[in-house]
Amino acid sequence: MFSRAPWSLFFCALCFANCAQAQWVNFPTAKFGARPGNVQNDGATPTITENSVISVPVETGYALTSTVNLVSGTFWTNVLVPNTSLTEIGFKLTNDAWPGLATYVGLGTSAVGSTATITILTIRSLGSSGNSAWSNSATLRPGTSIPSGSEWTVECYDDNDNNPNQYDAFGSGISFSIPGSPNANPISTITLSGQTNFVGPAGTSGNSFYSGLSPLTKTHNMGIGVRLLGGTLTSLMAPTWAGEARLLLRNSALPSQHYEVQLSSLNDSYLTAPLPTGAFRPWLASSATGATLPVGSSWSIEAFDDFDDGPGPDSIGTGISFDILAGEIPVFVQDIPISSPKNLVDAFPDPNNGSLLAVAALNPALANFVGFTGSYSKVAEDNWASDTVIAITNSAIPGRSAFIQPFTSIGNVPLATTTGVLSLTGNLVGSSIPAGSQYRLEFSDDVPSLPTGAVEAILMSATVTLYSSVPLPSAGLNGTLIVGGPAAFSYPRPVSYSIVKGTQTIASGTIDATGSSTPFSIFIPTAQTGAAVIIFDGGSYLRRRVSISMNGGVQSIGGIALQNGDIDQSGEVDATDLDAVISSFGMVGNVPANVDANGEVDAEDLNIVIQAFGSVDE
């Protein structure tokens, strides 16, 4: 079973007091018109002014973490571009210390609605926040050193240009921070002497092997990867790829654990590939990241080739040197056991694939890594273990997904087993997951070789472990908004909340009601005890005041029912609200009189207002 202490990035807390650096970016006004300048939009060249761009100097160096913290901003779509959506807008970040590399962060708002406002801290994942494949393939990765004196360039973008002659969306008062962690001191600096041979998979005769390297002079926790210091890879066989040259590391204090790293990001045939000084390489696989490594322990390293192209070395390396980075123990959230075998059939999404439902624990920012253990057994002769993909969705955040590719084994292996830490990608990463919401895991085959609906392979005896990329809150409230209407709304309804203790408001924000009942989690920055009142108000719902007794931790307050029908938000359901339904009768879309949020003003909306007639705010 894998360790519960894998990948960490010195993640920042919800406040920035413990961060080495919080790089602030501010856009007083912003325009979102087209994809970033280095990404072609189906050959179309926008004729409007460029996307809004801002430059931000780096005053104090830091290492990039995995998130961006959106603090404030108002966003709205252009009424002249009716097909646009706020899900399409985001920010591209580049740093002049790393030319040619980029990362992205999406606004991450709901797919419906023409406006969105951020009033409380909203955490988004770097490089996993867009709707397009390119915005989920960041090359400026967590752990990258951002040096003092460098400069960020931040470009607003729209990843689906709906009108080349118009801006798709706008923003104002936008503020976000790029949390930084300390540049991690190395646990050890490794230099591989002489010629390093990459022959075949781990254990293949002829692979270069080193032992007793770089004994530790102090106790460290294992980090998330390595920082390259130099070296060169050279191809000896024409078919081989630079990205197939790997290193397998073990520490003498943890002989049963392993750490695998890919030296080059070039997944293509090559002649020579220099290893860029300072480049960060995360573990492709690891089984004890975050583990404690004692003084005096040392390293053994095997060089291997992930896909053997023939007898003898596929590649050789010279002058390979790197730092093994230190880390901290991350925040464990929950295990999701997958006890029964699951069929892998077709690419996600597909109703023929095996699936699993699991109740979610509170997770303020879903981390971009998971712990995983599990086995693969192929059914189709031509199936590869690396075709296996697990997709994760959440009931409280419709329209977003995250993905795990558990097995790196390629070729016709009949069985494969993985135990360790895996990357989690997709635009669900970084999302705040409310306790009591529901995860759905779907088990798919990304490259099916059999006809549609046929079982390609089976996943067995697996467990997925989820982590948060920020510490869990010291206090908070979990509950469910009960507002009636259909199970899933055509248009989410924003409901504001505030928690008042005496005369002090200790937390406030907005919950998007997405159906007749919506789980929510409210984070409170500091532990609070004693009597307080939580006030819900917004949309066509009357204000509701709920007395609570805070216990200093995270607690459940159960279901909170809201009374519907106050269309004009006057504080009373009256004749004006009836007139609003009657005058709008038959209209479709996100109109105020559609109080049941089914997408049409109809008899049900009239019934709701009549039944609530005379009701007033609490």
pLDDT tens digits, one per residue of 2-61: 332 222 222 222 222 233 446 788 888 888 888 776 443 344 444 455 788 898 888 877
pLDDT tens digits, one per residue of 324-368: 987 655 678 899 999 899 999 998 999 999 999 998 888 877 877
H-helix segments, 359-413? none
Mean pLDDT (the chain) is 82
Q: Cβ(238)–Cβ(105) under 8 Å?
A: no
pLDDT confidence of 489, banded at 50, 70, 90?
confident
Q: Which two tokens stand for residue 339?
A: 């006890």
Distances (CA, A) of 477 to 76, 248, 366, 527, 559: 30, 44, 18, 11, 12
Residue 218's nearest CA partner among 335, 359, 326, 346 is 326
DSSP 365: S
pLDDT tens digits, one per residue of 576-618: 999 999 998 998 888 889 998 888 899 999 999 999 999 999 8
Q: Cβ(169)–Cβ(153) under 8 Å?
A: no
Average pLDDT over residues 518-525: 78
What confidence score (pLDDT) does residue 143 get?
A: 67
- C-alpha 88/C-alpha 156 separation (Å) is 11
What confidence score (pLDDT) does residue 136 get?
A: 56
Q: Which residues of 339-357 are buried (b: 16+ CB within 10 A; e: fewer)?
A: eeebbbbbebeeeebbbbe
* Kind and range of the H or E run holding 116: strand 115-118
What confidence score (pLDDT) does residue 110 get?
A: 58
Q: Cβ(169)–Cβ(75) under 8 Å?
A: yes
Find where tokens 């081989």 sit.
Answer: 240
**Domains parsed from the chain with CATH numbers:** 21-181 (2.60.120), 186-326 (2.60.120), 331-468 (2.60.120), 475-612 (2.60.40.4130)
Distance from first CA to last CA of the chain, Å, rounded? 52
**Segment among 83-92, 147-156, 251-260, 414-423 with least mean pLDDT:** 414-423
Q: pTM for the whole thing?
A: 0.54
**Residue 470 CB: number of other CB atoms within 10 A?**
25
Percent of the chain past pLDDT 90, that is, above it, reads 31
pLDDT confidence of 266, banded at 50, 70, 90?
confident
